[in-house]
């Protein structure tokens, strides 16, 4: 997302800065990044929201001990998260009891936190965008620039001091002291002494390091899964049901189950999502109602997946009495990917220039005819890309289907929508946390899931590039 | 012609396979305005962008030949491009102020070149805005966003931004093509005044503009420099038939 | 520059040429009226003066409009500049025709003296010069005006000779004073017309090559 934000900065800014005699690093740090700040902030906030709502990963590694770390900054102590609580305890409650209601309380707290994060994100983004584009002052107008300058210097010092203190607290002294010393040296001594070209080289070195770290992490994860999972792959693994509690046999029902869940989810979500997006973009004017709908969609997008699972469990499984079933899982997943589909469809529709619509309406076409023949066709690649990306996401989700659709072991494929299914991510979760000695198979499952999701994302990227090239001509 | 400040010698440029500039040789007179005219695609903007090495930003470009600024060839690999661009400034076709305040836009150049003292920057901002005939219109809103200015004001802001780093040469790539006639007239007046202290090279589609503002005019066609002479000669009795046909509108 | 402008430019040249030929005809007719002492012809020439004035004004107006609306450059501009000069020179030539016709009325009835001295020859030469200058203007070809300097000298020589001859006659016979004086005046008119022809030639040269020359 940050990459998108940075590449959408008009190249005229870059040229204008270079033409004045700035180095590339100065252009990047002083013009391009500040101009892309709102997009980068959005990316960061989205990342924070995603981290808050993550269930499965934290469940598997934090230890789930419901304690406060002692002392409070001990980063090596086990902890439990709100999402983890829901994930673990949901399967063990009796409906209607105190524990049941308490869990819903936890979900409410989680929702409120998400709400706060999203709303503050919207406010921050609006503030950043306004400061950029409007005629208003870029600073409080009652303060003269000199005073603002002094304030800025004081603020920087305060932040630096706070950062140093925090560093000393959370890291052992043998790390934090050298870091502080290096920062001090650079600030007082190095800033004047190193030339613009040297600081450019240093900055680029750090950027390359960051990229290398990102790639290294990816490679590390991939090689772990591939190396350990490859031995498990065989024709039998892919076509046979599991036996011996999953330690032997195959994962065929899980593969089929995932496919059923995912296709069903898309079939439900696509028409509703595209319809809602078309309505929002084409038929309504910007006003308080549409803003409300958009905020709702954003909140839905930011809601942790486990909360969807909880809701689906209590409403679809219990109240509507569908039981733990394929249909329940499909509906849950559909609800989860709905905001993404609405968002991507909206963006695709908005990217169609208004002049196309005006041209069609000027010829006497109705609004629906315009949408059907002029607006939707060029928007289709974007919609498809969004749908495929949602497919990939739905395929990998565990939390929403944990209590609504899946069962660990079934020898036969489901014959009706109301029967539970196996699914790859859930299978992997159980193998990893509950079944000792299933090492080879669990890596095999992980590898199959990885290939599945990567395959789906690759198709989405190919589709997007193909149509992007067609447009560029 | 007196000692030239910037000159091209046997300049050739290929863009992909296309021979976009063919053996261009011309000497630009110092403290005068030189205009480059010609039909679309003749290479005039490409030539202009060679003078401050902005063509480096495009990957598929190959250059051969010499461009001399104050005696040294700026196309050689060990040229300090950043310092070059301080000496040779550029104003673009569409005004491109940064999304910062007016003050910050102009202070950007001096800041990256090392000037950080507030008072010095204030003086530079005022001087540049006065030089660009914009001071009176914005002196009371220096800290407002530059994007709130009109198109003509934004273009003058970009000129002020270029002036703030004290260049010797100012390159202008169709600076008025996005502006209305009144804003255009203001910019043309500005160019008249800038001539006293800077060397100006302007690319323009508008032949009357070239006739109005320039002292020397070069006519380019399909990558070649067809004729390069004083503006009065070009517009009163050009030597080449091609030039005559272009400026009287018999083709192009 | 649009096609519209270029076709308007062609029309301008055509009309200017027509007007110049009209003025030349005024001069020719006035010379013929003098030769044959034809009062009727002289009267007809005098009437045409208003027409020539009208044409001058309207053609100059056309030129100014073309400049204001089209900002012409190079050859186009030089054509219009030359045409303005041709218009004004032709108007003067036409007026000399009218003035000659007026003189014809004055000396009507009196017989010619001294075979009109060299006036018929001079008028033939001058009319030829104007004709060549106009042809050069119309065809944009400089061949016809190549020997103009020499021809202008010849005209000057003729005027001097007519002057001396007239003085001689006046000294010999005071009764011829009126007639001879008019002959001197007519010679002067013809010399001025030749000068205007030279002016036209100079401007045609500028129109063609951009060079400013002087024909002495």
Q: Do A35 and B99 touch (CB under 8 A)?
A: yes
Q: Which pLDDT band holds residue A135 (cuts at 50, 70, 90)? A: very low
Q: How many other C-beta atoms are found inside a 10 Å radius of the C-beta of residue A409?
A: 16
To the nearest 10 degrees (0 to 180), the angle between helices A98-133 and A82-89 is: 150
Q: Do C75 and B244 touch (CB under 8 A)?
A: yes
pLDDT above 60 for A141: no
Tell me the pLDDT tens digit for each residue of B202-242. Answer: 999 898 899 999 999 999 999 999 999 999 999 999 999 99
| Mean pLDDT for chain A overall | 83
Question: Which range (A464-473, B11-20, C151-160) has the least confidence?
Answer: A464-473
| pLDDT score at B1 | 40
Q: Are strands A242-243 and A248-249 parallel, antiparallel or unpaired?
A: antiparallel
Cα gap B137→B148, rounded to integer Å: 13
At C53 the three-state DSSP class reads helix
Q: Are strands B61-69 and B6-15 parallel, antiparallel or unpaired?
A: antiparallel
Tell me the pLDDT tens digit for each residue of A388-417. Answer: 888 888 888 888 888 888 887 777 777 888
| B162 and A CB contact within 8 Å | yes
Q: Which residues of B touch A197 (CB under 8 A)?
A: 82
At B172 the three-state DSSP class reads strand
Q: Do C73 and B250 touch (CB under 8 A)?
A: no
Q: Do B108 and A196 touch (CB under 8 A)?
A: no
Cα gap A360→A300, rounded to integer Å: 34
The residue in chain A having the minimum alpha-carbon distance to the alpha carbon of residue B85 is A21
Q: What is the 3-state secondary structure (H, E, C) of B38-93?
A: CCCCCCHHHHHHHCCCHHHHCCCEEEEEEEEECCEECCCCCCCHHHHHHHEEEECC
pTM for the predicted model, two decimal places: 0.76
- Using the 8-state DSSP alphabet, how is residue A230 labeled? G
Instruction: Name the β-bridge partners of B67.
Output: B8
Question: Which range (A379-383, B34-38, B125-129) has the least confidence?
Answer: A379-383
Domains of chain A: residue spans and CATH: 36-132 (no CATH), 233-472 (1.10.3720.10)
Domains of chain B: residue spans and CATH: 6-96+168-247 (3.40.50.300)
Cα gap A450→B49, rounded to integer Å: 49
Q: Which residues of A touch B52 (CB under 8 A)?
A: 19
Q: What is the mean pLDDT of residues A163-190?
A: 76
Q: How many alpha carbons lie under 13 Å from residue A163 in its C-beta half-sphere?
A: 10
Q: How many other C-beta atoms are found inside a 10 Å radius of the C-beta of residue B228?
A: 19
Say whether the peptide bond before residue C148 is cis (omega within 30 degrees of 0): no
CB-based contact A317:A324 (threshold 8 Å): yes
The residue in chain C having the minimum alpha-carbon distance to the alpha carbon of residue B232 is C74
CB-based contact A328:A322 (threshold 8 Å): yes
Instruction: Name the β-bridge partners of B170.
Output: B89, B200
Q: Which pLDDT band holds residue A471 (cuts at 50, 70, 90)? A: low
- Using the 8-state DSSP alphabet, how is residue A36 labeled? T
Cα gap B146→A135, rounded to integer Å: 8
Cα gap B152→B187, rounded to integer Å: 8
| A152 and B CB contact within 8 Å | no
Cα gap C62→B15, rounded to integer Å: 48
Taking one residue from B and the other from C, the number of pairs with CB-CB distance under 8 angstroms is 33
The CA R_g of chain A, rounded to the nearest whole Å, is: 26
- Scan for tokens 């965008």, then name that residue: A129
Q: Do C73 and B237 touch (CB under 8 A)?
A: no
Q: Which pLDDT tens digits describe chain C residue by residue (216 residues)? A: 578 899 999 999 999 999 999 999 999 999 999 988 889 999 999 999 999 999 999 999 999 999 988 889 999 999 999 999 999 999 999 999 999 999 998 888 788 887 777 899 999 999 999 999 999 999 998 998 899 999 999 999 999 999 999 999 999 989 888 889 999 999 999 999 999 999 999 999 999 999 999 987
- The domains of chain C are located at 3-209
Query: Do chains B and C touch by CB distance (3+ pairs < 8 Å)?
Result: yes
Best of B54, B55, B69, B82 to substitute, by most chain A Cβ atoms within 10 angstroms, is: B82
| pLDDT score at A472 | 56
Q: Do B249 and C1 touch (CB under 8 A)?
A: yes
Q: Which residues of B touch C209 (CB under 8 A)?
A: 237
Tell me the pLDDT tens digit for each residue of A51-110. Answer: 888 888 888 888 888 888 877 777 788 888 888 888 888 877 777 788 888 888 998 898
Q: Which residues of B touch A14 (CB under 8 A)?
A: 57
Where does chain C have alpha helices with state H? 3-36, 39-70, 74-106, 119-139, 148-172, 177-209
Cα gap A431→B136, rounded to integer Å: 75
| Mean pLDDT for chain B overall | 91
Tell me the pLDDT tens digit for each residue of A234-261. Answer: 888 888 887 777 777 778 888 888 888 9
Cα gap A381→C19, rounded to integer Å: 72
Q: Which CATH architecture has domain C3-209?
A: Up-down Bundle (1.20)
Q: Do B92 and A135 touch (CB under 8 A)?
A: no
| B236 and C CB contact within 8 Å | yes
């Amino acid at each position: 997302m940050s990459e998108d934000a940075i590449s959408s900065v008009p190249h005229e800014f870059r040229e204008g800065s270079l033409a004045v005699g700035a180095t590339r690093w100065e252009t990047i740090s002083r013009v391009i990044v500040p101009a892309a700040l709102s997009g980068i902030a959005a990316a960061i906030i989205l990342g924070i929201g995603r981290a808050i709502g993550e269930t499965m990963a934290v469940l598997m590694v934090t230890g789930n001990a419901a304690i406060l770390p002692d002392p409070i900054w001990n980063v090596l102590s086990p902890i439990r998260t709100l999402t983890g609580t829901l994930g673990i305890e949901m399967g063990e409650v009796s409906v209607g009891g105190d524990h049941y209601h308490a869990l819903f309380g936890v979900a409410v707290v989680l929702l409120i936190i998400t709400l706060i994060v999203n709303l503050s994100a919207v406010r921050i983004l609006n503030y950043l965008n306004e400061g950029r584009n409007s005629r208003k002052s870029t600073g409080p107008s009652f303060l003269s620039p000199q005073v603002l300058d002094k304030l800025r210097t004081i603020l920087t010092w305060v932040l630096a001091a706070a950062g140093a203190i925090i560093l000393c607290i959370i890291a052992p002294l043998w790390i934090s002291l050298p870091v502080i010393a290096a920062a001090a040296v650079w600030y007082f001594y190095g800033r004047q002494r190193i030339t613009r070209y040297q600081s450019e080289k240093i900055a680029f070195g750090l950027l390359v390091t960051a990229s290398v770290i990102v790639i290294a992490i990816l490679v590390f994860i991939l090689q772990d899964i591939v190396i350990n999972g490859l031995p498990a792959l065989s024709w039998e693994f892919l076509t046979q049901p599991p036996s011996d509690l999953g330690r032997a046999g195959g994962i065929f029902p899980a593969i089929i189950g995932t496919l059923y869940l995912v296709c069903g989810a898309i079939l439900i979500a696509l028409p509703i999502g595209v319809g809602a997006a078309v309505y929002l973009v084409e038929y309504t004017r910007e006003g308080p109602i549409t803003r409300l709908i958009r905020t709702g969609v954003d909140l839905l997008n930011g809601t942790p997946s486990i909360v969807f699972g909880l809701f689906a469990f209590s409403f679809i499984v219990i109240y509507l009495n569908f039981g733990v079933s394929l249909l329940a899982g499909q509906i849950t997943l559909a609800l989860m990917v709905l905001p993404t589909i609405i968002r991507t469809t909206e963006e695709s529709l908005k990217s169609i220039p208004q002049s196309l619509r005006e041209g069609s309406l000027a010829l006497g076409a109705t609004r629906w005819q315009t949408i059907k023949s002029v607006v939707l066709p060029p928007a289709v690649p974007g919609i498809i890309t969004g749908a495929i990306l949602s497919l990939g996401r739905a395929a990998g989700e565990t939390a929403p289907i944990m209590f609504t659709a899946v069962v660990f072991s079934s020898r036969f494929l489901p014959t009706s929508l109301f029967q539970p299914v196996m699914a790859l991510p859930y299978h992997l979760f159980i193998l990893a946390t509950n079944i000792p000695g299933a090492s080879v198979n669990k890596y095999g499952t992980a590898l199959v899931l990885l290939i599945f999701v990567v395959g789906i994302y690759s198709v989405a990227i190919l589709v997007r590039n193909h149509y992007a090239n067609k447009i560029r001509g | 012609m007196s000692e030239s400040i910037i000159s091209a010698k046997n300049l050739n440029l290929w863009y992909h396979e296309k021979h976009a500039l063919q053996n261009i040789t011309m000497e630009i007179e110092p403290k005068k305005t030189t205009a480059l005219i010609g039909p679309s695609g003749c290479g005039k903007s490409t030539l202009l962008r060679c003078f401050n090495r902005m063509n480096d930003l495009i990957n598929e470009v190959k250059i051969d030949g010499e461009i001399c600024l104050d005696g040294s060839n700026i196309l050689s690999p060990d040229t300090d491009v950043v310092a070059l661009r301080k000496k040779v400034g550029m104003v673009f076709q569409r005004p491109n102020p940064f999304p910062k305040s007016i003050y910050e836009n102009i202070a950007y150049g001096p800041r990256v070149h090392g000037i950080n003292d507030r008072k010095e920057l204030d003086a530079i901002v005022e001087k540049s805005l006065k030089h660009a005939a914009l001071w009176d219109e914005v002196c009371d809103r220096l800290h407002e966003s530059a994007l709130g200015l009109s198109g003509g004001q934004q273009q003058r802001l970009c000129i002020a931004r270029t002036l703030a780093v004290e260049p010797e040469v100012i390159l202008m790539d169709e600076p008025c093509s996005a502006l209305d006639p009144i804003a255009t007239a203001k910019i043309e007046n500005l160019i008249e005044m800038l001539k006293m202290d800077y060397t100006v090279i302007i690319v323009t589609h508008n032949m009357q503009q070239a006739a109005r503002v320039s002292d020397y005019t070069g006519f380019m066609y399909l990558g070649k420099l067809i004729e390069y002479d004083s503006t009065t000669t070009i517009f009163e009795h050009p030597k080449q038939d091609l030039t005559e046909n272009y400026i009287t509108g018999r083709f192009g | 520059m649009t096609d519209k402008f270029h076709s308007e430019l062609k029309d301008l040249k055509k009309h200017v040429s027509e007007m110049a030929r009209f003025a030349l005809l005024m001069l020719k007719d006035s010379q013929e009226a003098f030769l044959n002492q034809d009062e009727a012809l002289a009267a007809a020439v005098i009437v045409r003066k208003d027409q020539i004035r009208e044409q001058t004004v309207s053609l100059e107006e056309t030129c100014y409009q073309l400049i204001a609306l089209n900002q012409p450059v190079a050859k186009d501009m030089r054509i219009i500049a030359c045409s303005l000069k041709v218009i004004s020179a032709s108007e003067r030539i036409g007026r000399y025709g009218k003035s000659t016709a007026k003189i014809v009325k004055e000396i009507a009835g009196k017989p010619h003296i001294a075979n009109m001295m060299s006036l018929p020859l001079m008028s033939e030469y001058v009319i030829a010069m104007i004709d060549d200058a106009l042809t050069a203007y119309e065809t944009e070809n400089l061949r016809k005006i190549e020997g103009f300097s020499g021809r202008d000298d010849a005209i000057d020589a003729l005027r001097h000779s007519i002057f001396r001859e007239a003085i001689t006659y006046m000294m010999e016979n005071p009764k011829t004073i009126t007639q001879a004086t008019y002959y001197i005046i007519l010679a002067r008119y013809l010399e001025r017309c030749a000068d205007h022809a030279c002016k036209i030639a100079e401007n045609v040269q500028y129109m063609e090559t951009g060079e400013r020359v002087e024909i002495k």
